Chain A
Amino acid sequence: MITLGDYLIVSGILFAIGFAGVMLRRNLIIILMSLELMLNAANLSLVAFSRFRVDSSGLPNYNVQVFVFFIITVAAAEVAVGLAIFVALYRARQTTDVKNISSLKF
């Protein structure tokens, strides 16, 4: 039998993997991918809570699913803006390694 806790544990492991990616990797694009993993881990636990909290008619809580929809929309916009910034940065510095991008102004 699958319980709410199982989904929360899977979500927690996925969040920790994304966090490790942000801590360990030095390539900006991989860091952005790890951020997406963390956002999706949060979405998984939100949807699990939505299915767990049924309302009086027995349906899942759709307010939470609307919230997940907004998170997906904003994350897609964030990826587009982030990648455009990386392209502009690559034109100026020919690198996407965070070790070479340590000054605010150049």
Chain B
Amino acid sequence: MELFTNQILAGISTGAIYACMALAVVMIYQAIDHLNFAQGEMAMFSTFISWQMMQWGVPYWVAFVVTLILSFIAGIAIERILFKPLAKAPILTNVAGFIALYSIINSCAGLIWDFTIKQYPTPFGSSPFLGSQLISTHQAGMIGLTLLMLLGLFFFFRYTRMGLAMRAAASVPESARLVGINTSWMIALGWGMAAAIGSVAGMMIAPVVFLEPNMMLGVLIYGFAAAVLGGLTSPFGAVIGGFLVGIFENLVGTYIPGVGNELKLPIALALIITVLVVKPAGLFGRPIVKRV
């Protein structure tokens, strides 16, 4: 029994990573109605930028904030330059665009910083949290920061004019234009915010998985899975989804024999899909009624 509880707790700590990533995924989904495969790479690149700044002697929190701002701007720039021209193209073409973006960012990161693993610092220290062997202070800090972002997003969407406008643009774009909202800019903003949140995810995840260009792929998949599990329309669901995915992953690894690291991913995905077959809109998503 103790092993079980331990695994659950361990799952929650790794789950914090997925929760963070899932928030960024939901953010982008709210803005553009699809998932961006290149988001993980953008987060990775942002993390490398922050690392580079720290190599040059910039203190952690300054690098953190500057990276956040730069990522926001970069997200907007990428959307305006690369994806606005594709706005009228079919969705599948846009997906091909995401794949192209992934390829470009991954390759550039590899060239600039090479593929050797680097240590990435954490501002929270890595001693046991409240004496627990399972959650370190870093993981507690990560969970705390994720929850803070969630709260921030909640207030933004519920109580600000910009948040209301973004929700409107995402839900009924034509009506949004008819009240004077520039829906095209709302998409750009959505990308900017997603890039910023993604950069936070990257900077929180790097201390755990170590910094290298391929660090985000697994995390991104789990992040997608978590977002989908939670219901793509619900930031709250994304965070819960993240924790659940972390727990699933850990339990699968511990209790199903013969499953090494490589099979954990597909099995976790299979479990999530099973949930989706039962609850197609995810745990907290709004059930979608389709009209002809």
B is bound to A: no
Interface residues of A (CB under 8 A from B): none
